[in-house]
Amino acid sequence: MNTDYEMAFLLGNGPSLARVDNIILQSIPTFGSNRIFKKIVPTVYACVNPTEAKKYPVEIEVMDCEHKYVTDKVKIPGCIPLHSTTSVDFSLNPTWAINEGYSVSYCLMQIAFFMGVKELFLLGMDHKYIQPNTPNAEITWQDKDVNHFCDDYVQPGDKWNCADLKRSEIYFKKAKQVFEMDGRRIINLTEGSELDVFERRML
């Protein structure tokens, strides 16, 4: 699937995204996930976590995105279903199957590649969390949210899956390899990011 998205922003949901002016984000297409609608409506949206999709189906449905992808475990009108699998490391056709790679951002990388993006710029990919030392565990959040771009992104009483940063880096390295083998690039513009897999630049 080819689009005119020569360049695009991939938006993580880290605290640094709050410092990025939305006017900048409107300059080229944006790929966003989960509760990004609290900041901006992206050009392309994805949500592979059933817990997230079940919690905000109305917000996801009404977003006026060009493309919306949601886990096939939750049916939301207007969304393309995503079937998660480990049978491929990096899917070249996410409409058939996608590898979650321990991060919805990895899913967005596969979708961006599928759409023909040649330069993918990361913003809001802080790659650090204050959380219990239980990667992938589902917990009930109790405090004010300090891990995202707004302090009510995850609210007290919400179910939340702890990040698995080490395993996600394995898949990010795969995305870097696939992009570069095809003459494309992923560039991390995130201020203060602890993700060192990709080339770093300032916004």
* Rounded-to-integer distance, Cα 172 and Cα 2, Å: 22
d(CA 14, CA 123): 9
Query: Which two tokens mark 84?
Result: 């998660």
Q: Does the structural domain 7-200 have CATH classification 3.90.1480?
A: yes
For the chain, domain boundaries:
7-200
Position 12 pLDDT exceeds 80: yes
Cβ burial of 5 (10 Å; 0-12, 13-18, 19+) is buried
Q: What is the pLDDT of residue 61?
A: 98
Tens digit of each residue's pLDDT (9 = 90 or more) over 80-97: 999 999 999 999 999 999
For the cut 70, the answer to whether the pLDDT of residue 2 exceeds it is no
Angle at 154 between CA 150 and CA 160, to 5 degrees: 145
pLDDT score for 3: 72
Is residue 60 within 8 A of residue 47, CB to CB? The reply is yes
How many Å is the Cα radius of gyration of the chain? 16
pLDDT at 112 > cutoff 90: yes
The pLDDT value given to residue 45: 98
Q: What is the pLDDT of residue 148?
A: 97
- Predicted TM-score of the model (pTM): 0.96
